[in-house]
Structure 1
Amino acid sequence: MLTTTSALVTAAHDAHTGVAAFNVIAIEHAEAVAVAAEATGLPAILQISENAARHHGDVAPLAAAAAAIARASSAALSLHLDHVEDAALLFRTAECGASSVMFDASRRSDEDNVRATREAADWAHEHGLYIEAELGEIGGKKGSAHTPGVRTDPQQAREFVEATGVDALAVAVGSTHAMTDRTAQVDLDLVARISAAVPVPLVLHGSSGVPADLLAAAVRAGMTKINFGTMLNVAFTGAVRAALAASPDAHDPRPYLAQARTAVAEVAADCLRTVSGGNQ
Protein backbone atom coordinates (compact mmCIF):
# COMPACT_ATOMS: atom_id res chain seq x y z
CA MET A 1 0.00 0.00 0.00
CA LEU A 2 1.15 3.52 -0.67
CA THR A 3 1.64 5.34 2.61
CA THR A 4 3.52 8.48 3.66
CA THR A 5 7.18 8.87 4.45
CA SER A 6 6.18 10.85 7.52
CA ALA A 7 4.30 7.86 8.91
CA LEU A 8 7.18 5.45 8.27
CA VAL A 9 9.97 7.66 9.59
CA THR A 10 7.99 8.84 12.61
CA ALA A 11 7.10 5.26 13.58
CA ALA A 12 10.73 4.16 13.27
CA HIS A 13 11.98 7.18 15.20
CA ASP A 14 9.50 6.62 18.01
CA ALA A 15 10.47 2.94 18.18
CA HIS A 16 14.21 3.72 18.13
CA THR A 17 14.68 1.60 15.04
CA GLY A 18 15.37 2.34 11.39
CA VAL A 19 13.56 2.43 8.07
CA ALA A 20 15.34 1.72 4.79
CA ALA A 21 15.03 3.98 1.76
CA PHE A 22 16.04 2.68 -1.67
CA ASN A 23 16.95 4.65 -4.78
CA VAL A 24 14.80 3.69 -7.76
CA ILE A 25 16.27 4.09 -11.24
CA ALA A 26 14.28 1.51 -13.21
CA ILE A 27 10.88 -0.06 -12.65
CA GLU A 28 12.66 -3.28 -11.65
CA HIS A 29 14.23 -1.47 -8.69
CA ALA A 30 10.81 -0.54 -7.34
CA GLU A 31 9.42 -4.02 -7.99
CA ALA A 32 12.38 -5.58 -6.18
CA VAL A 33 11.97 -3.37 -3.12
CA ALA A 34 8.28 -4.26 -2.96
CA VAL A 35 9.15 -7.97 -3.11
CA ALA A 36 11.72 -7.53 -0.33
CA ALA A 37 9.33 -5.55 1.86
CA GLU A 38 6.61 -8.16 1.42
CA ALA A 39 9.01 -11.02 2.16
CA THR A 40 10.33 -9.42 5.36
CA GLY A 41 7.08 -7.81 6.51
CA LEU A 42 8.90 -4.49 6.84
CA PRO A 43 8.10 -1.04 5.44
CA ALA A 44 10.34 0.73 2.93
CA ILE A 45 10.75 4.04 1.16
CA LEU A 46 11.04 4.22 -2.63
CA GLN A 47 13.04 7.28 -3.58
CA ILE A 48 13.73 8.93 -6.91
CA SER A 49 16.66 11.29 -7.14
CA GLU A 50 16.86 14.38 -9.29
CA ASN A 51 19.57 12.59 -11.29
CA ALA A 52 17.23 9.65 -11.95
CA ALA A 53 14.46 12.00 -13.01
CA ARG A 54 16.89 13.73 -15.38
CA HIS A 55 17.94 10.35 -16.81
CA HIS A 56 14.34 9.60 -17.76
CA GLY A 57 13.73 13.10 -19.09
CA ASP A 58 10.97 13.70 -16.53
CA VAL A 59 10.10 12.47 -13.07
CA ALA A 60 6.47 11.64 -13.88
CA PRO A 61 6.74 8.24 -15.66
CA LEU A 62 9.05 6.61 -13.10
CA ALA A 63 7.15 8.15 -10.17
CA ALA A 64 3.84 6.93 -11.57
CA ALA A 65 5.24 3.40 -11.91
CA ALA A 66 6.71 3.41 -8.40
CA ALA A 67 3.48 4.72 -6.90
CA ALA A 68 1.46 2.06 -8.74
CA ILE A 69 3.80 -0.68 -7.47
CA ALA A 70 3.42 0.66 -3.93
CA ARG A 71 -0.38 0.76 -4.15
CA ALA A 72 -0.50 -2.84 -5.37
CA SER A 73 1.86 -4.12 -2.67
CA SER A 74 0.82 -5.68 0.62
CA ALA A 75 3.80 -3.90 2.23
CA ALA A 76 3.80 -0.32 3.50
CA LEU A 77 5.75 1.71 0.94
CA SER A 78 6.14 5.45 0.51
CA LEU A 79 7.45 7.57 -2.37
CA HIS A 80 10.13 10.20 -1.79
CA LEU A 81 12.11 12.58 -4.04
CA ASP A 82 15.82 12.60 -3.18
CA HIS A 83 18.56 15.24 -3.51
CA VAL A 84 16.32 17.79 -5.18
CA GLU A 85 18.17 21.01 -6.00
CA ASP A 86 15.85 22.30 -8.74
CA ALA A 87 12.94 24.29 -7.31
CA ALA A 88 10.80 23.27 -10.29
CA LEU A 89 11.14 19.61 -9.30
CA LEU A 90 10.53 20.44 -5.64
CA PHE A 91 7.21 22.02 -6.58
CA ARG A 92 6.16 18.81 -8.39
CA THR A 93 6.59 16.56 -5.33
CA ALA A 94 2.91 16.08 -4.57
CA GLU A 95 1.93 16.09 -8.25
CA CYS A 96 4.06 13.01 -8.92
CA GLY A 97 2.61 11.09 -5.97
CA ALA A 98 5.43 11.58 -3.47
CA SER A 99 4.68 12.50 0.14
CA SER A 100 8.17 13.76 0.92
CA VAL A 101 11.24 15.40 -0.55
CA MET A 102 14.89 15.84 0.33
CA PHE A 103 15.73 19.43 -0.60
CA ASP A 104 19.48 19.78 -1.10
CA ALA A 105 20.94 23.29 -0.91
CA SER A 106 24.22 22.10 0.60
CA ARG A 107 26.24 23.33 -2.37
CA ARG A 108 25.33 26.89 -1.39
CA SER A 109 26.80 29.05 1.34
CA ASP A 110 25.58 28.35 4.86
CA GLU A 111 23.44 31.49 4.86
CA ASP A 112 21.91 30.71 1.48
CA ASN A 113 21.38 27.07 2.46
CA VAL A 114 19.37 28.14 5.51
CA ARG A 115 17.34 30.70 3.56
CA ALA A 116 16.53 28.38 0.64
CA THR A 117 15.77 25.43 2.91
CA ARG A 118 13.48 27.55 5.10
CA GLU A 119 11.54 28.60 1.99
CA ALA A 120 11.37 25.00 0.77
CA ALA A 121 10.19 23.76 4.19
CA ASP A 122 7.50 26.45 4.40
CA TRP A 123 6.23 25.49 0.95
CA ALA A 124 6.35 21.77 1.72
CA HIS A 125 4.41 22.14 4.95
CA GLU A 126 1.80 24.32 3.25
CA HIS A 127 1.23 21.39 0.88
CA GLY A 128 1.22 18.67 3.54
CA LEU A 129 4.64 17.29 2.60
CA TYR A 130 7.46 15.95 4.77
CA ILE A 131 10.83 17.55 4.08
CA GLU A 132 14.40 16.37 4.64
CA ALA A 133 17.45 18.59 4.21
CA GLU A 134 21.19 18.46 4.71
CA LEU A 135 23.78 20.23 6.82
CA GLY A 136 27.30 18.84 6.76
CA GLU A 137 28.29 17.42 3.42
CA ILE A 138 28.07 13.70 2.68
CA GLY A 139 31.17 12.51 0.81
CA GLY A 140 31.34 11.29 -2.76
CA LYS A 141 29.57 13.97 -4.79
CA LYS A 142 31.24 16.33 -7.24
CA GLY A 143 31.68 19.98 -6.36
CA SER A 144 32.54 21.86 -3.19
CA ALA A 145 29.81 20.14 -1.20
CA HIS A 146 29.92 16.46 -0.22
CA THR A 147 33.64 16.49 0.51
CA PRO A 148 34.99 13.31 2.15
CA GLY A 149 36.09 13.85 5.73
CA VAL A 150 33.47 16.47 6.55
CA ARG A 151 31.55 15.88 9.77
CA THR A 152 28.38 17.51 11.08
CA ASP A 153 28.67 19.58 14.23
CA PRO A 154 25.81 18.73 16.65
CA GLN A 155 25.18 22.33 17.73
CA GLN A 156 25.19 23.59 14.14
CA ALA A 157 22.78 20.78 13.26
CA ARG A 158 20.42 21.86 16.03
CA GLU A 159 20.58 25.50 14.92
CA PHE A 160 19.96 24.51 11.29
CA VAL A 161 16.84 22.53 12.20
CA GLU A 162 15.54 25.37 14.35
CA ALA A 163 16.20 27.92 11.60
CA THR A 164 14.70 25.92 8.75
CA GLY A 165 11.89 23.89 10.32
CA VAL A 166 12.77 20.71 8.40
CA ASP A 167 11.29 17.37 9.46
CA ALA A 168 14.43 15.21 9.06
CA LEU A 169 18.13 15.94 8.75
CA ALA A 170 20.80 14.19 6.67
CA VAL A 171 24.13 14.35 8.50
CA ALA A 172 27.77 13.64 7.70
CA VAL A 173 29.15 11.02 10.09
CA GLY A 174 31.57 9.05 7.91
CA SER A 175 29.60 7.52 5.04
CA THR A 176 30.29 8.36 1.40
CA HIS A 177 28.10 8.18 -1.70
CA ALA A 178 28.81 5.66 -4.48
CA MET A 179 31.04 3.27 -2.51
CA THR A 180 31.17 -0.25 -3.97
CA ASP A 181 32.91 -1.80 -0.97
CA ARG A 182 31.66 -1.74 2.61
CA THR A 183 34.60 -0.11 4.37
CA ALA A 184 33.16 3.22 5.54
CA GLN A 185 33.51 3.90 9.25
CA VAL A 186 30.56 5.68 10.85
CA ASP A 187 31.38 7.74 13.96
CA LEU A 188 28.87 6.26 16.39
CA ASP A 189 29.74 8.70 19.17
CA LEU A 190 29.02 11.59 16.80
CA VAL A 191 25.73 9.99 15.76
CA ALA A 192 24.69 9.78 19.42
CA ARG A 193 25.68 13.39 20.09
CA ILE A 194 23.80 14.70 17.06
CA SER A 195 20.77 12.59 17.96
CA ALA A 196 20.78 14.06 21.47
CA ALA A 197 21.06 17.60 20.12
CA VAL A 198 18.58 17.42 17.22
CA PRO A 199 14.83 16.92 17.79
CA VAL A 200 14.08 15.44 14.34
CA PRO A 201 14.98 12.04 12.81
CA LEU A 202 18.47 11.70 11.37
CA VAL A 203 19.17 10.38 7.87
CA LEU A 204 22.25 8.44 6.74
CA HIS A 205 23.17 8.85 3.08
CA GLY A 206 25.80 6.65 1.42
CA SER A 207 24.82 3.61 3.46
CA SER A 208 25.90 1.12 0.78
CA GLY A 209 29.50 1.60 1.88
CA VAL A 210 28.85 0.88 5.56
CA PRO A 211 29.24 -2.66 6.97
CA ALA A 212 25.96 -4.22 8.08
CA ASP A 213 26.91 -4.49 11.74
CA LEU A 214 27.94 -0.83 11.78
CA LEU A 215 24.67 0.19 10.14
CA ALA A 216 22.75 -1.63 12.85
CA ALA A 217 24.89 0.08 15.48
CA ALA A 218 24.28 3.47 13.84
CA VAL A 219 20.53 2.90 14.12
CA ARG A 220 20.92 2.03 17.79
CA ALA A 221 22.98 5.22 18.23
CA GLY A 222 20.25 7.40 16.74
CA MET A 223 20.03 7.17 12.93
CA THR A 224 16.51 6.58 11.58
CA LYS A 225 16.22 6.80 7.78
CA ILE A 226 18.94 4.76 6.08
CA ASN A 227 19.46 5.36 2.35
CA PHE A 228 20.71 2.69 -0.07
CA GLY A 229 21.50 3.06 -3.75
CA THR A 230 24.87 1.84 -5.01
CA MET A 231 24.63 -1.67 -3.60
CA LEU A 232 21.34 -2.20 -5.45
CA ASN A 233 22.99 -1.13 -8.69
CA VAL A 234 25.99 -3.39 -8.08
CA ALA A 235 23.61 -6.34 -7.63
CA PHE A 236 21.50 -5.32 -10.62
CA THR A 237 24.43 -4.87 -13.01
CA GLY A 238 26.22 -7.97 -11.75
CA ALA A 239 23.16 -10.11 -12.45
CA VAL A 240 22.80 -8.66 -15.95
CA ARG A 241 26.49 -9.27 -16.69
CA ALA A 242 26.25 -12.87 -15.48
CA ALA A 243 23.10 -13.55 -17.48
CA LEU A 244 24.54 -12.13 -20.71
CA ALA A 245 27.82 -13.97 -20.20
CA ALA A 246 25.88 -17.22 -19.85
CA SER A 247 23.73 -16.44 -22.91
CA PRO A 248 25.79 -14.18 -25.20
CA ASP A 249 23.25 -14.46 -28.01
CA ALA A 250 20.32 -13.31 -25.84
CA HIS A 251 18.32 -10.40 -27.21
CA ASP A 252 15.15 -10.39 -25.08
CA PRO A 253 15.82 -8.16 -22.04
CA ARG A 254 13.10 -9.72 -19.89
CA PRO A 255 15.03 -12.78 -18.66
CA TYR A 256 18.10 -10.85 -17.56
CA LEU A 257 16.05 -8.01 -16.09
CA ALA A 258 14.12 -10.61 -14.08
CA GLN A 259 17.41 -11.98 -12.73
CA ALA A 260 18.52 -8.44 -11.90
CA ARG A 261 15.26 -7.79 -10.10
CA THR A 262 15.69 -10.94 -8.02
CA ALA A 263 19.26 -9.97 -7.11
CA VAL A 264 18.15 -6.50 -6.02
CA ALA A 265 15.29 -7.95 -3.96
CA GLU A 266 17.72 -10.19 -2.07
CA VAL A 267 20.02 -7.25 -1.27
CA ALA A 268 17.09 -5.03 -0.27
CA ALA A 269 15.73 -7.71 2.08
CA ASP A 270 19.09 -7.89 3.84
CA CYS A 271 19.12 -4.09 4.20
CA LEU A 272 15.60 -4.08 5.61
CA ARG A 273 16.48 -6.69 8.22
CA THR A 274 19.68 -4.85 9.16
CA VAL A 275 18.08 -1.47 9.84
CA SER A 276 15.05 -2.97 11.62
CA GLY A 277 17.21 -4.84 14.11
CA GLY A 278 17.31 -8.12 12.19
CA ASN A 279 14.27 -9.61 13.89
CA GLN A 280 12.25 -10.49 10.78
Structure 2
Amino acid sequence: MPLVTTAELVRDAADRRTGVAAFNVITLEHAEGIVAGAVRAARPVILQVSQNAVRFHDGAIRPLAAALRAVADEAGVDVSLHLDHVEDVDLVRRAPDAGYSSVMVDAGALPYSDNASLTAEQTRWLHEQGLAVEAELGYVGGKDSQPQSAHAPGVRTDPEQAAAFVAATGVDALAVAVGSSHAMTSQTAQLDLDLIASLREAVPVPLVLHGSSGVPDDVLRAAIEAGVVKVNIGTALNIAYTGAVREALAASETVDPRPSLTAARAAVADAVAQLLVVVAA
Protein backbone atom coordinates (compact mmCIF):
# COMPACT_ATOMS: atom_id res chain seq x y z
CA MET A 1 0.00 0.00 0.00
CA PRO A 2 1.20 3.58 -0.58
CA LEU A 3 2.67 5.36 2.40
CA VAL A 4 0.34 7.26 4.68
CA THR A 5 1.42 10.07 6.99
CA THR A 6 2.27 9.66 10.64
CA ALA A 7 -0.20 12.44 11.41
CA GLU A 8 -3.01 10.37 9.88
CA LEU A 9 -2.16 7.29 11.93
CA VAL A 10 -1.78 9.24 15.18
CA ARG A 11 -4.98 11.21 14.58
CA ASP A 12 -6.95 8.06 13.82
CA ALA A 13 -5.66 6.33 16.96
CA ALA A 14 -6.46 9.39 19.07
CA ASP A 15 -9.98 9.53 17.67
CA ARG A 16 -10.50 5.87 18.52
CA ARG A 17 -8.92 6.28 21.99
CA THR A 18 -6.36 3.59 21.28
CA GLY A 19 -2.66 3.52 20.49
CA VAL A 20 -0.47 3.32 17.41
CA ALA A 21 2.94 1.67 17.61
CA ALA A 22 6.14 3.14 16.20
CA PHE A 23 8.97 0.62 15.89
CA ASN A 24 12.64 1.49 15.51
CA VAL A 25 14.33 0.35 12.30
CA ILE A 26 18.07 -0.22 12.02
CA THR A 27 18.36 -2.73 9.17
CA LEU A 28 16.13 -3.80 6.31
CA GLU A 29 15.35 -7.01 8.21
CA HIS A 30 13.92 -4.91 11.04
CA ALA A 31 11.55 -3.21 8.62
CA GLU A 32 10.51 -6.42 6.89
CA GLY A 33 9.84 -8.10 10.23
CA ILE A 34 7.89 -5.12 11.56
CA VAL A 35 5.63 -4.99 8.52
CA ALA A 36 5.16 -8.77 8.55
CA GLY A 37 4.08 -8.57 12.19
CA ALA A 38 1.75 -5.66 11.44
CA VAL A 39 0.14 -7.57 8.59
CA ARG A 40 -0.34 -10.59 10.84
CA ALA A 41 -1.97 -8.41 13.49
CA ALA A 42 -3.90 -6.39 10.87
CA ARG A 43 -2.77 -3.11 12.47
CA PRO A 44 -1.17 0.03 11.00
CA VAL A 45 2.41 0.74 11.95
CA ILE A 46 4.97 3.55 12.03
CA LEU A 47 8.50 2.74 10.86
CA GLN A 48 10.84 5.10 12.64
CA VAL A 49 14.52 5.70 12.08
CA SER A 50 16.55 7.47 14.74
CA GLN A 51 19.44 9.84 14.24
CA ASN A 52 21.64 7.10 15.69
CA ALA A 53 20.44 4.68 12.99
CA VAL A 54 21.24 7.24 10.28
CA ARG A 55 24.70 7.57 11.82
CA PHE A 56 25.06 3.77 11.66
CA HIS A 57 24.40 4.00 7.92
CA ASP A 58 27.35 6.41 7.57
CA GLY A 59 25.09 9.45 7.84
CA ALA A 60 23.20 8.63 4.64
CA ILE A 61 19.49 9.27 5.20
CA ARG A 62 18.12 8.41 1.76
CA PRO A 63 19.06 4.73 1.09
CA LEU A 64 17.32 3.25 4.14
CA ALA A 65 14.34 5.57 3.69
CA ALA A 66 14.00 4.45 0.07
CA ALA A 67 14.06 0.83 1.18
CA LEU A 68 11.38 1.52 3.79
CA ARG A 69 9.16 3.17 1.19
CA ALA A 70 9.49 0.05 -0.96
CA VAL A 71 8.63 -2.21 1.98
CA ALA A 72 5.58 -0.05 2.71
CA ASP A 73 4.45 -0.25 -0.92
CA GLU A 74 4.32 -4.04 -0.63
CA ALA A 75 2.53 -4.04 2.75
CA GLY A 76 -1.08 -4.95 3.30
CA VAL A 77 -1.47 -2.42 6.10
CA ASP A 78 -1.02 1.34 6.45
CA VAL A 79 2.60 2.34 7.06
CA SER A 80 4.21 5.71 7.74
CA LEU A 81 7.83 6.88 8.08
CA HIS A 82 9.04 8.88 11.07
CA LEU A 83 12.51 10.31 11.72
CA ASP A 84 13.13 10.02 15.45
CA HIS A 85 15.29 11.73 18.09
CA VAL A 86 16.85 14.26 15.74
CA GLU A 87 19.26 16.63 17.46
CA ASP A 88 21.12 17.66 14.29
CA VAL A 89 19.40 20.55 12.51
CA ASP A 90 21.01 19.56 9.21
CA LEU A 91 19.36 16.14 9.46
CA VAL A 92 15.99 17.80 10.11
CA ARG A 93 16.39 19.71 6.86
CA ARG A 94 17.09 16.49 4.93
CA ALA A 95 13.96 14.69 6.15
CA PRO A 96 11.39 15.92 3.60
CA ASP A 97 13.40 14.91 0.53
CA ALA A 98 14.04 11.49 2.05
CA GLY A 99 10.31 10.82 2.25
CA TYR A 100 9.59 11.14 5.97
CA SER A 101 6.20 12.56 6.93
CA SER A 102 7.15 13.42 10.52
CA VAL A 103 10.19 14.29 12.60
CA MET A 104 10.91 14.28 16.30
CA VAL A 105 12.91 17.43 17.02
CA ASP A 106 14.84 16.34 20.10
CA ALA A 107 16.01 19.29 22.17
CA GLY A 108 14.82 17.74 25.43
CA ALA A 109 18.28 17.77 27.01
CA LEU A 110 18.43 21.58 26.74
CA PRO A 111 17.06 24.04 29.29
CA TYR A 112 13.36 24.73 28.81
CA SER A 113 13.74 28.09 27.06
CA ASP A 114 16.31 26.72 24.60
CA ASN A 115 14.22 23.61 23.96
CA ALA A 116 11.16 25.74 23.23
CA SER A 117 13.03 28.20 21.01
CA LEU A 118 14.81 25.58 18.89
CA THR A 119 11.72 23.39 18.63
CA ALA A 120 9.53 26.32 17.56
CA GLU A 121 12.01 27.31 14.85
CA GLN A 122 12.27 23.80 13.42
CA THR A 123 8.52 23.24 13.71
CA ARG A 124 7.77 26.30 11.62
CA TRP A 125 10.12 25.09 8.89
CA LEU A 126 8.88 21.49 8.94
CA HIS A 127 5.25 22.61 8.82
CA GLU A 128 6.09 24.65 5.72
CA GLN A 129 7.32 21.39 4.17
CA GLY A 130 4.13 19.56 5.18
CA LEU A 131 5.69 17.42 7.93
CA ALA A 132 4.30 16.81 11.41
CA VAL A 133 6.52 17.45 14.43
CA GLU A 134 7.00 15.62 17.71
CA ALA A 135 9.06 17.07 20.56
CA GLU A 136 10.00 16.02 24.07
CA LEU A 137 9.58 17.76 27.42
CA GLY A 138 11.07 16.17 30.52
CA TYR A 139 13.72 13.46 30.85
CA VAL A 140 12.80 9.95 29.79
CA GLY A 141 16.34 8.78 30.53
CA GLY A 142 18.41 5.93 29.15
CA LYS A 143 20.11 7.99 26.42
CA ASP A 144 23.62 9.45 26.54
CA SER A 145 22.15 12.93 26.16
CA GLN A 146 19.75 12.29 29.05
CA PRO A 147 22.00 11.09 31.89
CA GLN A 148 19.43 11.65 34.61
CA SER A 149 17.30 8.80 35.88
CA ALA A 150 13.69 8.63 34.77
CA HIS A 151 12.86 8.64 38.49
CA ALA A 152 15.01 11.58 39.60
CA PRO A 153 13.11 14.45 41.26
CA GLY A 154 11.85 17.07 38.85
CA VAL A 155 12.47 15.18 35.59
CA ARG A 156 8.88 14.22 34.85
CA THR A 157 6.77 16.36 32.58
CA ASP A 158 4.74 19.05 34.31
CA PRO A 159 1.24 19.45 32.79
CA GLU A 160 1.14 23.24 33.06
CA GLN A 161 4.59 23.61 31.52
CA ALA A 162 3.67 21.08 28.83
CA ALA A 163 0.63 23.11 27.81
CA ALA A 164 2.77 26.24 27.58
CA PHE A 165 5.42 24.39 25.57
CA VAL A 166 2.92 23.12 23.01
CA ALA A 167 1.40 26.59 22.67
CA ALA A 168 4.84 28.17 22.21
CA THR A 169 6.18 25.66 19.71
CA GLY A 170 3.16 24.52 17.69
CA VAL A 171 4.23 20.86 17.79
CA ASP A 172 1.80 18.15 16.72
CA ALA A 173 2.67 15.56 19.38
CA LEU A 174 4.51 15.61 22.69
CA ALA A 175 6.76 12.92 24.14
CA VAL A 176 6.41 13.00 27.91
CA ALA A 177 8.42 11.70 30.85
CA VAL A 178 6.13 9.62 33.05
CA GLY A 179 8.40 6.86 34.37
CA SER A 180 9.64 4.95 31.33
CA SER A 181 13.28 4.85 30.24
CA HIS A 182 15.06 4.11 26.98
CA ALA A 183 17.05 0.90 26.47
CA MET A 184 15.38 -1.16 29.19
CA THR A 185 15.81 -4.90 28.65
CA SER A 186 13.20 -6.02 31.19
CA GLN A 187 9.57 -4.98 31.57
CA THR A 188 9.82 -3.46 35.04
CA ALA A 189 8.99 0.21 34.47
CA GLN A 190 6.10 1.61 36.45
CA LEU A 191 4.34 4.58 34.91
CA ASP A 192 2.57 7.46 36.63
CA LEU A 193 -0.88 6.91 35.19
CA ASP A 194 -2.38 9.85 37.07
CA LEU A 195 0.24 12.13 35.52
CA ILE A 196 -0.57 10.78 32.05
CA ALA A 197 -4.25 11.56 32.61
CA SER A 198 -3.38 15.07 33.81
CA LEU A 199 -1.18 15.65 30.77
CA ARG A 200 -3.93 14.46 28.46
CA GLU A 201 -6.27 17.04 29.99
CA ALA A 202 -3.70 19.84 29.82
CA VAL A 203 -2.13 19.22 26.41
CA PRO A 204 -4.16 19.63 23.19
CA VAL A 205 -1.96 17.28 21.11
CA PRO A 206 -1.43 13.50 21.29
CA LEU A 207 0.99 12.18 23.90
CA VAL A 208 3.94 9.94 23.00
CA LEU A 209 5.56 7.33 25.25
CA HIS A 210 9.24 6.63 24.67
CA GLY A 211 11.02 3.69 26.28
CA SER A 212 7.97 1.45 25.98
CA SER A 213 10.01 -1.77 25.76
CA GLY A 214 10.48 -1.62 29.51
CA VAL A 215 6.80 -1.27 30.34
CA PRO A 216 4.73 -4.35 31.33
CA ASP A 217 1.92 -5.11 28.89
CA ASP A 218 -0.86 -4.37 31.37
CA VAL A 219 0.72 -1.05 32.38
CA LEU A 220 1.24 -0.11 28.73
CA ARG A 221 -2.42 -0.78 28.01
CA ALA A 222 -3.39 1.29 31.06
CA ALA A 223 -1.18 4.14 29.84
CA ILE A 224 -3.00 4.15 26.51
CA GLU A 225 -6.34 4.20 28.29
CA ALA A 226 -5.05 7.12 30.38
CA GLY A 227 -4.11 9.15 27.30
CA VAL A 228 -0.95 7.95 25.52
CA VAL A 229 -1.43 7.63 21.75
CA LYS A 230 1.92 6.99 20.03
CA VAL A 231 4.00 4.22 21.60
CA ASN A 232 7.69 3.94 20.68
CA ILE A 233 9.34 0.52 20.81
CA GLY A 234 12.91 -0.34 19.94
CA THR A 235 14.86 -2.39 22.47
CA ALA A 236 12.30 -5.21 22.56
CA LEU A 237 12.85 -5.77 18.85
CA ASN A 238 16.62 -5.72 19.22
CA ILE A 239 16.40 -8.33 21.97
CA ALA A 240 14.38 -10.57 19.64
CA TYR A 241 16.64 -9.84 16.66
CA THR A 242 20.00 -10.42 18.32
CA GLY A 243 18.73 -13.42 20.28
CA ALA A 244 17.63 -15.12 17.07
CA VAL A 245 20.96 -14.34 15.39
CA ARG A 246 22.93 -15.79 18.30
CA GLU A 247 20.84 -18.94 18.32
CA ALA A 248 21.12 -19.44 14.56
CA LEU A 249 24.87 -18.88 14.53
CA ALA A 250 25.37 -21.26 17.43
CA ALA A 251 23.44 -23.99 15.61
CA SER A 252 25.46 -23.87 12.39
CA GLU A 253 28.95 -23.19 11.08
CA THR A 254 27.69 -21.73 7.81
CA VAL A 255 29.24 -18.50 6.60
CA ASP A 256 26.01 -17.57 4.82
CA PRO A 257 24.36 -14.76 6.82
CA ARG A 258 20.90 -15.43 5.42
CA PRO A 259 19.80 -18.16 7.87
CA SER A 260 20.55 -15.97 10.89
CA LEU A 261 18.98 -12.89 9.33
CA THR A 262 15.92 -14.90 8.34
CA ALA A 263 15.58 -16.00 11.96
CA ALA A 264 16.03 -12.41 13.13
CA ARG A 265 13.34 -11.14 10.77
CA ALA A 266 10.91 -13.83 11.96
CA ALA A 267 11.64 -13.05 15.61
CA VAL A 268 10.96 -9.36 15.01
CA ALA A 269 7.67 -10.20 13.29
CA ASP A 270 6.59 -12.34 16.25
CA ALA A 271 7.44 -9.58 18.74
CA VAL A 272 5.63 -6.94 16.70
CA ALA A 273 2.48 -9.01 16.25
CA GLN A 274 2.31 -9.60 20.01
CA LEU A 275 2.99 -5.97 20.92
CA LEU A 276 0.43 -4.62 18.46
CA VAL A 277 -2.33 -6.57 20.20
CA VAL A 278 -1.44 -4.65 23.38
CA VAL A 279 -0.91 -1.22 21.82
CA ALA A 280 -3.58 -1.06 19.15
CA ALA A 281 -6.42 -3.07 20.65
Q: Is the 8 A contact 1:106 1:145 kept in 2?
A: no
Whether 1:188 and 2:193 are equivalent positions in the alignment is yes
TM-score (ref. length: structure 1): 0.97
Residue in 2 that maps onto 1:28: 29
- 2:223 paired residue among 218, 222, 247: 218
Per-residue deviation at 1:145? 5.7
Unaligned runs of 5+ in 1: none
Residue in 2 that maps onto 1:176: 181
Once residues 53 and 63 of structure 1 are traced to their aligned partners in structure 2, the CA distance between those partners, rounded to angstroms, is: 10
Residue in 2 that maps onto 1:89: 91
Quick one: structure 1 residues 36 and 239, their matched pair in 2 at CA, closer, same or farther if it must change by over 3 Å?
Answer: same
Whether 1:140 and 2:149 are equivalent positions in the alignment is no
Per-residue deviation at 1:146? 5.4
Aligned length: 276
Amino acid at match of 2:13: A
TM-score (ref. length: structure 2): 0.96
Once residues 198 and 145 of structure 1 are traced to their aligned partners in structure 2, the CA distance between those partners, rounded to angstroms, is: 26
Once residues 83 and 67 of structure 1 are traced to their aligned partners in structure 2, the CA distance between those partners, rounded to angstroms, is: 20
Once residues 192 and 108 of structure 2 are traced to their aligned partners in structure 1, the CA distance between those partners, rounded to angstroms, is: 21
- 2:274 paired residue among 270, 277, 280: 270
Q: Is the 8 A contact 1:107 1:145 kept in 2?
A: no
Once residues 235 and 15 of structure 1 are traced to their aligned partners in structure 2, the CA distance between those partners, rounded to angstroms, is: 30
Once residues 65 and 231 of structure 1 are traced to their aligned partners in structure 2, the CA distance between those partners, rounded to angstroms, is: 22
Once residues 184 and 49 of structure 1 are traced to their aligned partners in structure 2, the CA distance between those partners, rounded to angstroms, is: 22
Once residues 268 and 9 of structure 1 are traced to their aligned partners in structure 2, the CA distance between those partners, rounded to angstroms, is: 18
Runs of 4+ in structure 1 over 6 Å off: none
CA deviation string 1:73-115 (max 9, x = no partner):
1110000000001011101111111100000011222111111
Once residues 145 and 231 of structure 2 are traced to their aligned partners in structure 1, the CA distance between those partners, rounded to angstroms, is: 23
Query: Secondary structure, in 3 states, of the residue corresponding to 1:25?
Result: coil
RMSD: 0.9
- 1:209 paired residue among 206, 214, 224: 214
Amino acid at match of 1:269: A
CA deviation string 1:108-147 (max 9, x = no partner):
2211111100001101111110100001111111245654
Deviates more, 1:237-246 or 1:103-112: 103-112
Deviates more, 1:139-148 or 1:237-246: 139-148
Whether 1:260 and 2:261 are equivalent positions in the alignment is no
Quick one: structure 1 residues 144 and 261, their matched pair in 2 at CA, closer, same or farther if it must change by over 3 Å?
Answer: closer
Whether 1:250 and 2:254 are equivalent positions in the alignment is yes
Per-residue deviation at 1:151? 0.8
Q: Is the 8 A contact 2:140 2:146 kept in 1?
A: no
Query: Secondary structure, in 3 states, of the residue corresponding to 1:63?
Result: helix
Whether 1:66 and 2:68 are equivalent positions in the alignment is yes
Residue identity over aligned pairs, in percent, reads: 57
Residue in 2 that maps onto 1:38: 39
Once residues 142 and 50 of structure 1 are traced to their aligned partners in structure 2, the CA distance between those partners, rounded to angstroms, is: 13
Quick one: structure 1 residues 46 and 184, their matched pair in 2 at CA, closer, same or farther if it must change by over 3 Å?
Answer: same
Q: Is the 8 A contact 1:195 1:202 kept in 2?
A: yes
Per-residue deviation at 1:242? 0.5
CA deviation string 1:6-32 (max 9, x = no partner):
000000011110000000000001001
Once residues 108 and 223 of structure 2 are traced to their aligned partners in structure 1, the CA distance between those partners, rounded to angstroms, is: 23
Residue in 2 that maps onto 1:152: 157
Once residues 46 and 147 of structure 2 are traced to their aligned partners in structure 1, the CA distance between those partners, rounded to angstroms, is: 25
Deviates more, 1:162-171 or 1:141-150: 141-150
Once residues 146 and 131 of structure 2 are traced to their aligned partners in structure 1, the CA distance between those partners, rounded to angstroms, is: 29
Q: Is the 8 A contact 2:139 2:146 kept in 1?
A: no
Deviates more, 1:73-82 or 1:105-114: 105-114
Once residues 113 and 157 of structure 2 are traced to their aligned partners in structure 1, the CA distance between those partners, rounded to angstroms, is: 16
Quick one: structure 1 residues 196 and 145, their matched pair in 2 at CA, closer, same or farther if it must change by over 3 Å?
Answer: farther
Q: Is the 8 A contact 2:150 2:177 kept in 1?
A: no
